[in-house]
């Protein structure tokens, strides 16, 4: 086990589990180097089904160089409908070729617009819209360019199999994207929100310049850090930073000198971004818990006394078991061996908390880790009883992710499948051992 890159340690991923040197190189020279295809879990009826019973058109879209949200906006604009009538199961990155399902309410196949970099296949009709999470996982095919030591891939794979007790496996960290690839600050904003430090949260987002940002952006953030002159800051912030500018408008209008003003500035942001701040704080704490579990040498493939496990989702396929975090059980000394057998057969998964209002922490050494991390961050489950989108009940998440990885050479290419919610870059970081900016 070796120490991770400083950028990764800053978001709680403190170690690699493989000791071998990386293959080097970088990702995403072009969109086709990073291909993602959803493993679908949504059934459609024939396209000629009655629109009264099945008002949603189901599309399979292959997108090249499109962010999911941007595509949905352009699709709705091209159809002349509201953005709210377009739904999907998982958000994908624009620096990739991605294949995923969408549902569109109240349109016909003939209405679909032509968009560059988009291949649309009409799958059928459905009686409801896709919801976030309506998928099993994602299949990846990822090319690494300019690898300096591709032969190291074999040794890394062997080490990951050892970690996974025979399967290629890694800690189920939240990847760098969760926190912001260029400027990883979403968890910093979230931690201040959870502590109800509304001014600190606003300044972590508006100010707090990062060395990788363009000079004009850094200067604008430095200006607002130094002056708190919200009106003048509007002249400094580039127009492309529309979220920051929306916040500055609210602060300039309200005065920007009370906790209520700062909270109002945060609440002008889209609901999903408000929630993301808190989710990022939870993810950071979770990553730290996994790193400490690694440091203490506790297993990831099987439980120890005090762990909380979840059982497999009964609706998922045996080929692709998924954790059901609504089915939890505490592991006592008497049950360790029994639960370990369930984990070995893919019927149960060791978990760690994404802490929230209803989180019950573990016992024994796992519980000790959870409490120590929360104490160091100044957090407790009760802190998440917050207004609006900042509220969170919490959940738990499997600590290990296994995959069916295949490696090819010339060019060095990794093919594998992950369950929904797990990050391809968390697998690839073990192989490249590079600056996360080379993975994004």
| Res 16 pLDDT > 60 | yes
Q: State yes or no: is 114 an active-site residue.
A: no
First to last CA, the chain: 23
Report how far apart, in Å, the C-alpha atoms of 149 and of each of 21, 143, 161, 336, 408 are. Answer: 8, 14, 20, 41, 14
Q: Are residues 348 and 413 in the same domain?
A: no
pLDDT tens digits, 78-113: 999 998 999 999 888 888 999 999 999 999 999 999
Q: Are residues 357 and 369 in the same domain?
A: yes
Q: Is residue 421 part of a domain?
A: yes
* Mean pLDDT of the 58-66 span: 94
What are the tokens at 154? 């074999």
Q: Are residues 348 and 208 in the same domain?
A: no
Q: Looking at the DSSP assignment, which residues form a beta bridge with residue 89?
A: none
Half-sphere exposure of 98 (CA within 13 A, CB side): 23
Q: Is residue 180 part of a domain?
A: no
Number of compact structural domains in the chain: 4
**In CATH, what number is assigned to the domain containing residue 235?**
1.10.1510.30
Which of 204, 239, 269 delimits the end of a domain? 269
Q: Are residues 76 and 147 in the same domain?
A: no
Which of 269, 299, 319 delimits the end of a domain? 269
**In CATH, what number is assigned to the domain containing residue 334?**
3.30.2350.20
Q: Is residue 37 part of a domain?
A: no
263 or 272: which leads in pLDDT: 263
Cβ atoms of 18 and 432 within 8 Å: the answer is no
**In CATH, what number is assigned to the domain containing residue 103?**
3.30.70.3160
Q: Is residue 179 part of a domain?
A: no
What are the tokens at 399? 């600590």
374-383 contacts: CB < 8 A, separation 24 or more?
374/285, 376/288, 377/191, 377/284, 377/285, 377/288, 378/195, 379/191, 379/194, 379/195, 379/281, 379/285, 379/355, 381/355, 381/356, 381/357, 382/357, 383/194, 383/195
Q: Are residues 231 and 83 in the same domain?
A: no
Beta-sheet pairing, 97-105 with 34-40? parallel
List Cβ neighbours of 420 (8 Å cut-off, separation of 6 or more): 90, 133, 135, 136, 137, 138, 322
- Given the residues 21, 67, 93, 114, the one annotated as active site: 93
pTM here is 0.92
Instruction: State which residues form the domain around 384.
Output: 273-398
| Res 318 pLDDT > 60 | no
Q: Are residues 341 and 375 in the same domain?
A: yes
| Res 254 pLDDT > 90 | yes
161-165, 195-199, 293-297, 419-423: which has the minimum mean pLDDT? 419-423
What are the tokens at 330? 């505490």
Q: How far apart are CA 181 and CA 179, in angstroms?
A: 7
Residue whose structure tokens are 């919200």: 230
What pLDDT was estimated at residue 231? 96
| Res 319 pLDDT > 90 | no
Q: Are residues 250 and 295 in the same domain?
A: no
What pLDDT was estimated at residue 94? 81
Q: Is residue 318 part of a domain?
A: yes
Q: Is residue 177 part of a domain?
A: no
Which of 269, 296, 316 delimits the end of a domain? 269
Q: How far apart are CA 180 and CA 280, in angstroms?
A: 10
What pLDDT was estimated at residue 315? 67
Q: Are residues 422 and 392 in the same domain?
A: no
Q: Are residues 380 and 311 in the same domain?
A: yes
Q: Is residue 227 part of a domain?
A: yes
Q: Is residue 334 part of a domain?
A: yes
- Cβ count within 10 A of residue 392: 24
Q: Are residues 391 and 277 in the same domain?
A: yes
Beta strands per DSSP E along 73-215: 86-88, 97-105, 118-126, 135-144, 168-171
Q: Are residues 325 and 362 in the same domain?
A: yes
Peptide bond before 411: cis, by omega within 30 degrees of 0?
A: yes
| Res 211 pLDDT > 60 | yes
Q: Are residues 7 and 77 in the same domain?
A: no
DSSP string, 209-237: --TTS-HHHHHHHHHHHHH--HHHHHHHS
Q: How far apart are CA 210 and CA 221, in angstroms?
A: 9
């Amino acid at each position: 086990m070796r120490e991770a890159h400083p950028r990764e340690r800053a978001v709680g991923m403190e170690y690699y589990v493989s000791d071998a040197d990386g293959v080097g190189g970088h990702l995403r020279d072009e969109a086709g180097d990073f291909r993602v295809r959803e493993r679908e879990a949504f059934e459609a009826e024939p396209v000629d089904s009655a629109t009264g019973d099945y008002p949603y058109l189901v599309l399979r879209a292959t997108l090249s160089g499109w962010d999911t949200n941007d595509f949905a906006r352009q699709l709705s604009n091209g159809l002349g409908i509201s953005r709210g009538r377009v739904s999907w199961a998982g958000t994908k990155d624009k620096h990739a070729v991605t294949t995923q399902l969408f549902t569109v309410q109240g349109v016909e196949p003939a209405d679909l617009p032509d968009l560059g970099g988009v291949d649309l296949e009409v799958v059928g009709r459905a009686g409801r819209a896709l919801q976030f999470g309506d998928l099993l996982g994602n299949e990846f095919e990822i090319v690494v360019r300019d690898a300096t030591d591709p032969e190291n891939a074999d040794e890394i794979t062997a080490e990951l199999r050892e970690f996974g007790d025979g399967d290629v496996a890694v800690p189920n960290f939240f990847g760098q994207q969760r926190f912001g690839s260029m400027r990883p600050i979403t968890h910093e904003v979230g931690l201040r929100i959870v502590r109800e430090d509304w001014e600190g949260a606003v300044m972590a987002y508006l100010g707090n310049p990062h060395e990788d940002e363009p000079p004009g952006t850094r200067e604008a953030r430095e200006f607002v850090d130094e002056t708190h002159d919200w009106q003048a800051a509007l002249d400094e912030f580039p127009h492309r930073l529309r979220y920051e500018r929306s916040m500055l408008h609210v602060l300039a209008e309200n005065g920007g000198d009370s906790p209520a003003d700062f909270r109002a500035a945060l609440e002008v942001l889209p609901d999903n971004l408000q929630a993301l701040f808190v989710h990022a704080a939870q993810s950071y704490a979770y990553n730290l818990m996994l790193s400490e579990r690694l440091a203490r040498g506790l297993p990831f493939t099987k439980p120890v006394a005090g762990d909380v496990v979840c059982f497999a989702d009964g609706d998922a396929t045996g080929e692709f078991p998924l954790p059901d975090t609504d089915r939890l059980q505490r592991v006592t000394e008497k049950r360790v061996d029994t639960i370990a057998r369930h984990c070995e057969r893919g019927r149960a998964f060791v978990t760690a908390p994404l802490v929230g209002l209803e989180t019950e922490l573990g016992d024994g050494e796992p519980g000790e880790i959870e409490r120590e991390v929360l104490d160091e961050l100044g957090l407790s489950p009760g802190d998440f009883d917050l207004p609006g989108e900042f509220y969170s009940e919490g959940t738990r998440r499997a600590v290990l992710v296994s995959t069916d990885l295949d490696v090819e050479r010339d060019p060095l290419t990794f093919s594998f499948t992950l369950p929904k919610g797990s990050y391809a870059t968390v697998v690839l970081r073990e192989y490249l051992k590079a600056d996360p900016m080379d993975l994004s």
